[in-house]
Amino acid sequence: MIFQLLVGNLTHGLLLGGVYGVATMGLSLIFGVINVVNVGHGQFIMVGAFVALTMFTALGLSPVIAIPVALVLGMALGFFFFYTVMRRLIKAPELTSLLATFAMGILLEEIAKLIFGADFRGYNWAVGKITLPITTIPMSKVYAFVGSIVIALFLYFWFSKTRLGTAMRAVIEDNEGARVCGVNVGWIYALSFAIGIGLTVMSGVLLTMFIPVGINPYMGGRYTLKAFVIAVLGGLTSPYGAFFAGLIFGLIENGAYTLFAQIPGVAPFPLTVSLAFWMLFFLLLVKPTGLLGK
């Protein structure tokens, strides 16, 4: 019985893990290329969630169409913030970039509150369910997972087969070296930041396919923290590492929850969240380069 429950929940966890993966790739990419930890990361996920919500409720469009829209909007936001703020902070002490990204996050939250209000909202994308012997899965989750795989593969090809992608990888590996080899590092910084934000906003759309209700301006903060855990798990500078770490994290989260729920006298949900952070803490101490890192 418990075994069946566990396997069922792990299946859901794996599907969610794909979305977590995409939601973290942007964080890793930005840290890898411009060495800035985006503390306002989750708020960009929130923007994506509102893109999906608005397109569905106001225009009646499926979230699948919201995905490319979110990418474009995210990249626009990324370029905007890069050229107005981040560009000036790349060489500055860490404190300033941490704080600047945090302030960006607050700004997004407050703008979202101004437009949409602070209530929890959601939409119902009815695309049926599939029933497996162990569990029933809404098709929306399957689409989200497929979407995340497609995005991850696309990114893989971008990095390995295109000139710009290769240049980005070169900057992650060795900033000075890349500069010497004639890579336009300034442009790579801007583009990476924009793509990172674009990916993140896009993942917000995917996320709404999992949490049909639960969209509000302040939903982002906890995803920032989850993304930290996943990014560290994946080696912090590697977008692929982040994707696989996302899958692992989804599994661990749902598995741990299922087990904690069997213990009497504890609250399983916060305990699961707590576990994630202690995992992060010990991982950083034991192997700061990440479980999947070098």
Partner 1 sequence: MKKTLPKYYPLIPVFAAYLIMFLVGFSIPGMWQMVALLAFYCALGQSWNIFMGMTGYVDFGYVTFIALGTYGMSLGITYLSQYEWLGIGIIVIGFILALFLASLSALLEAFIALRLRGAYFAIACIGINEGLRYLIEGAKFWGGSEGLIFFGALVQALGRETVNQLTTFWADFSVFIIAALAAFLNMHYMRSKIGYALTAVREDEDAAKVMGINANKYKTIAFLTSGWLGAAVGAMAWGLKLGYVYPGDVFVIHYTVECIVVVLLGGAGTLLGPVIGGLIYGLSKYWLAVIMPGFQLLIFAPIIIIIIVVAPEGVVGLLKSKLKGTKLEMFIE
Residue numbers at the binding site for partner 1 (CB under 8 A): 31, 35, 37, 39, 85, 88-89, 92-96, 98-100, 102-104, 106-107, 109-111, 113-114, 221, 225, 228-229, 232, 236, 260, 265-274, 276-278, 280-281, 284-285, 288
Cβ nearer to partner 1, comparing 103 with 130:
103
List Cα–Cα distances, 198 to 70, 178, 219, in angstroms: 7, 24, 18
Q: What whole-number distance in Å separates Cα of residue 64 and Cα of residue 132? A: 24
Joined tokens for residue 247: 């899958």
Cβ nearer to partner 1, comparing 103 with 181:
103
DSSP 135: -
Least CB distance to partner 1 at residue 56 (A): 26
Could you give the residue ranges of the DSSP H alpha helices within 60-116? 63-81, 87-89, 94-116
Cβ nearer to partner 1, comparing 102 with 125:
102
Q: What whole-number distance in Å separates Cα of residue 264 and Cα of residue 267? A: 8
DSSP 37: -
Cβ nearer to partner 1, comparing 88 with 129:
88
Neighbours of 204 (CB within 10 A): 30
Least CB distance to partner 1 at residue 274 (A): 4
Least CB distance to partner 1 at residue 62 (A): 32
Least CB distance to partner 1 at residue 109 (A): 7
Q: Which residues contact 82 (CB under 8 A, 6 or more apart)?
A: 189, 190, 193, 194
Least CB distance to partner 1 at residue 269 (A): 7
List Cα–Cα distances, 51 to 146, 205, 278, in angstroms: 20, 7, 33
Q: What whole-number distance in Å separates Cα of residue 88 and Cα of residue 81? A: 11
CB-hemisphere CA count at 13 Å for 265?
0
Rg, the chain, Cα only: 19
Cβ nearer to partner 1, comparing 187 with 281:
281
Least CB distance to partner 1 at residue 59 (A): 27
Cβ nearer to partner 1, comparing 212 with 221:
221
Least CB distance to partner 1 at residue 130 (A): 32
- Amino acid of residue 198: G
Least CB distance to partner 1 at residue 167 (A): 23
φ, ψ for residue 218, nearest 5 deg: -100, 15
How many H-runs (helices) and E-runs (strands) does the chain carry?
Answer: 12, 4
Cβ nearer to partner 1, comparing 113 with 179:
113
Class of residue 97 by CB neighbours under 10 A (exposed 0-12, middle 13-18, buried 19+): buried
